[in-house]
Structure 1
Amino acid sequence: MFPPRYAAFERLVTQARPTAGLGRLCFGLISVAFVYILLVQGVFALAQAVMTADGYLAFVAAIERGETAFGTLAILILMGGMAAGVLVAVELVHKRSFFGLFGPLGPMLEQFRCVTRAIAGLMALFVVVTLLIDRQGVVAGMPLGTWLMFLPLTLLGLLIQVAAEELVFRGYFQSQLAARFQSPLVWLVVPSAIFALLHYHPEALGGNAWLAVGWAFAFGLAAADLTARTGTLGPALAMHLVNNFVALGLLSIQGELSGLSLWHLPYGPGDEVALRAQMPSEFLIILIYWLSARLALRV
């Protein structure tokens, strides 16, 4: 039995118990990665087949840099390939329902709505304060009219990306580990650590690469805890979506994945000093997310 605070997690774990072996889980995770890579490579192969040589090179460059609206959207949508990988893993390897990874639909949607409402206002206030404090440094990104035109696609792309990541790490990986191990130290920490290590990009972040890993680990722990407390992906999805909308759609750093943002901060990923100075507030934001979600849901 799980601790009382995680009793609702049985909603996700019960269906994972019949196929809780570690060997099967490892094979499932390999399947997720294989399907994702296969789909991404398939998209590039198709693009190469239908585009001119120059058009294909421009297509690849846009996705590699993610500095344009098209490039950023393409990156977000391609992340959806991970969800397809999870579908293959759970249906074929574990013989469990893909949609069951979200938890009961009604509670999931209600928790998603509740947490979104709780933290969206706080993040709007954060953006306003940032703009007021650093109004000389913040520069315009997309023109407002263009940004509004792209807004539905931005939200769709972000929803695809965050849903894919939450399905892999919280819906699938965490619940399968919990079916095998009783200790929360295992099924909270291990998926969060893997999630964090995938954010290690020293070529872009330089000396701050491990700080970014630490941030991602804290974020993963918060999302994992909320998933276990509520028994659905709703709160983690809401937290992830609001966070990424602010970071990619409202107020992004310059450079990679900045193509959909309304404003840009006056530095890019290579500015180690500015990024390091920003990190304490980023960790504080995770704590605010987590506490706000728990207060809103009373969990």
Structure 2
Amino acid sequence: MRYDPYQPLIAAARPTASLRMLIAGVILTVLISWALNYLLWSIAFALLPANLGNALAAAVDATQTPGGVILNLFFFALLSAALAITLRILHQRNLMSLMGSFEQTVHQFRRTGLALIVLFIALTFMPMPTDTTPAPHLPLGIWLGFLPLTLLGLLIQTSAEELVFRGYIQSLLAARFPHPLIWIGVPSLLFGLLHHDPDLPALNAAVVVLWATLFGIAAADLTARSGTLGPAIALHMVNNFSAIAVAAPEGAFDGLALYTFPFSLSSTDALIVWAPVDLMVLFCSWLAVRLALRR
């Protein structure tokens, strides 16, 4: 594996790389994120009439409406803000130091994002498993009207998660431990476990965690190969756009979906059929990004 491009990000993390500092940083980021969330809601309820404040809170909980999904995506900006504060307090760094060269990040994001879009368009012509043809959900006009906010929200959400897992946790572990099994494996496992849904059947929840862990491994590998977060953010954003804005499982964060599949994440039979397909798509996506980076 050629991870030489990753060395500048490791070098930037090395001066404050220790397990104690990493654990403190993760805890502080979570606490600051909670505090910012509390502060934002306190301000909202103080400034807005009670009925509007309650309506806003209900909208955030309603992930089956366009506004609810967009609000949830935009709230990830608080996570990025919390991480920025943590970096300044504990590491005397800024967010951009986690991403790599800005110009290179943008260049790789565009190049790999285009490759992934071409791949996902091609995949739409694949035969679907039986009885899983998606049905129309949002009218096209409404979907297009929300599209700019959808894209911005997805960029905010995916960038925040990549900054935390591939930017912060991974780089500090890589500066502390030389073996990729640790600095790729640990953040990816944490990423997977955070996708655990206790409301799902045990098998379904395990499959979701497994997929998210493998996604984390793919994103971590691409980050190390490219030396920026651009490819990982592109992979994450295109994947989430497909799963949230194009076709979503029925009742699962489907407020922005143009189509919905005739099953939910709690359907074990459907998940058994779709899990191999999703894993194949993930592998093809990782391969497409690798090929795009070589051009």
Hey, what does 2:252 align to over in structure 1?
A: 256
Q: Distance in 1 between matches of 2:17 and 2:144?
A: 46
The residue aligned with 1:29 is 26
The residue matched to 2:252 in structure 1 has which SS?
coil
Contact 1:16–1:96, Cα closer than 8 Å, also in 2: no
Mapping of residues 199-238 of structure 1, within 5 Å: 199-204=195-200, 207-238=203-234
- Shift, 1:255, TM fit: 1.3
Q: Is the 8 A contact 1:226 1:235 kept in 2?
A: yes
Residue 88 (structure 2) aligns with: 91
Name the residue aligned to 1:154.
150
Matched, 1:123 2:117: no
Look up the match of 2:44. Answer: 47
Which of 36, 56, 62 does residue 59 from structure 1 map onto? 56
Once the 2 structures are TM-superposed, how far is the Cα of residue 202 of structure 1 from its aligned partner? Answer: 2.3
1:137 and 1:291, CA in 2 relative to 1: closer, same or farther beyond 3 A?
closer
Distance in 2 separating the partners of 1:8 and 1:191: 19
Q: Secondary structure at the match of 1:261?
A: coil
Distance 1:216 1:136, change over 3 A: closer
The amino acid across from 1:49 in the alignment is A
Take 1:260 and 1:277, find their aligned partners in 2: how far apart are those partners? 24
Match for 2:66: what amino acid?
A
Question: TM-score when scaled to structure 1?
Answer: 0.93
| 1:139 maps to which of 130, 135, 141 | 135
Query: Which of 267, 273, 276 is the equivalent residue of 2:269?
Result: 273
Aligned residue among 84, 108, 114 for 1:111: 108
**Residues 52/207 of structure 1: CA separation in 2 closer, same or farther (3 Å cut):** farther
Change (3 A) 1:57 1:137: farther
CA contact (8 A) 1:80 1:161 kept: yes
Unaligned runs of 5+ in 1: none
- Determine which of 77, 80, 88 is the counterpart of 1:80: 77
Alignment gaps of 5+ in structure 2: none
- Secondary structure of residue in 2 paired with 1:97: coil
Which segment is superposed worse, 52-61 or 74-83? 52-61
| 1:13 and 2:18 aligned | no
Q: How many residues align?
A: 295
Question: Cα deviation per residue 1:158-180 (whole Å; 9 max; x = unaligned)?
Answer: 00000000000001110011111
> Does the CA-based 8 Å contact 1:65-1:256 persist in structure 2?
no
Structure 1 counterpart of 2:278: 282
